[in-house]
Amino acid sequence: MQSQMKESDPILEVENLSASTDNLPILKGVSLSVYPGEIHAIMGRNGCGKSTLSKIIAGHPSYNITNGDIKFLGENINSLEPEERAQSGIFLGFQYPIEIPGVSNLEFLRVSTNARRKFLNKEELDTFDFEELVKEKLELVKMDHAFLSRSVNQGFSGGEKKRNEILQMALLEPKIAILDETDSGLDIDALRIVASGIKKISNAQTGIILITHYQRLLDEIEPNYVHVMSDGQIIKTGGSDLALELEKKGYEWTDKFIKKT
């Protein structure tokens, strides 16, 4: 899926998306467009559907799309497998990165990176070349080389897990990164390191969606748009000042924007 895109075309378009799991509706008509170079923030109460939206875009098999479309680089990806979406350039940073005991972090990163490189028609890297590349990327998130020899996320602290997510993002060079509560569980220093990593990786050709509860991440990475979700819908969209307003007034203030269904 390497379409000829114009600079002004969106990277990701979510059109009137409804989805359910176990026959329970979770998303109820979400629309969102992300253009190159844009940073979007999605905020909302716990359980409003933010994480579900990110998982559905990434292709989680537990959710069914009941209506609407997800388009990536102009093509409908509703029926693509998670790995096909990832290879084509969609990255999901997990709120709770999964531990995979017994699988070496280095090997995991190498296999992932090569899957993306293969899609991009780039030469796959052997262990030696990959070590060189990963060494350079480790600098971005100030991670120690020793993390590579451990099992994926096993025994990592909360902050180390989140840094490992950003390391993966740096290696995979996605077109769009959806970062689900990347700031949760981080102390101030770790938050700055992670935010700085995200800023260095993003550029005028990539899009970023930050899912967050707090202004503090948005102080480090200023979004172009802030969306507020409630009950599976985006009920309000504004600029970065909307997040500041939310910080002051709380989510109750946004309840008046909920569309009656």
Q: Under the rule (CB under 8 A), what is the footprint of another protein?
A: 58-62, 81-83, 85-87, 91-92, 94, 97-98, 100-103, 107-108, 111-112, 115-116, 119, 151, 168, 172
> Minimum distance from CB of 89 to another protein (Å)?
10
Residue placing its CB nearer to another protein in the complex, 87 or 233:
87
> Minimum distance from CB of 254 to another protein (Å)?
30
> Minimum distance from CB of 246 to another protein (Å)?
29
Find all residues with CB under 8 Å of 256, minimum gap 6, and list them.
none
Residue placing its CB nearer to another protein in the complex, 69 or 107:
107
Residue placing its CB nearer to another protein in the complex, 92 or 208:
92
Residue placing its CB nearer to another protein in the complex, 86 or 191:
86
Question: What one-character DSSP code corresponds to residue 101?
Answer: E
User: DSSP secondary structure string, 26-89?
Assistant: EEEEEEEEE-TT-EEEEEE-TTSSHHHHHHHHHT-TT-EEEEEEEEETTEE-TT--HHHHHHHT
Closest of 79, 60, 40 to residue 218, by C-alpha: 40
> Minimum distance from CB of 223 to another protein (Å)?
23
60 Cα distance to chain centroid = 13
The answer to whether 114 and 83 have CB atoms below 8 angstroms apart is no
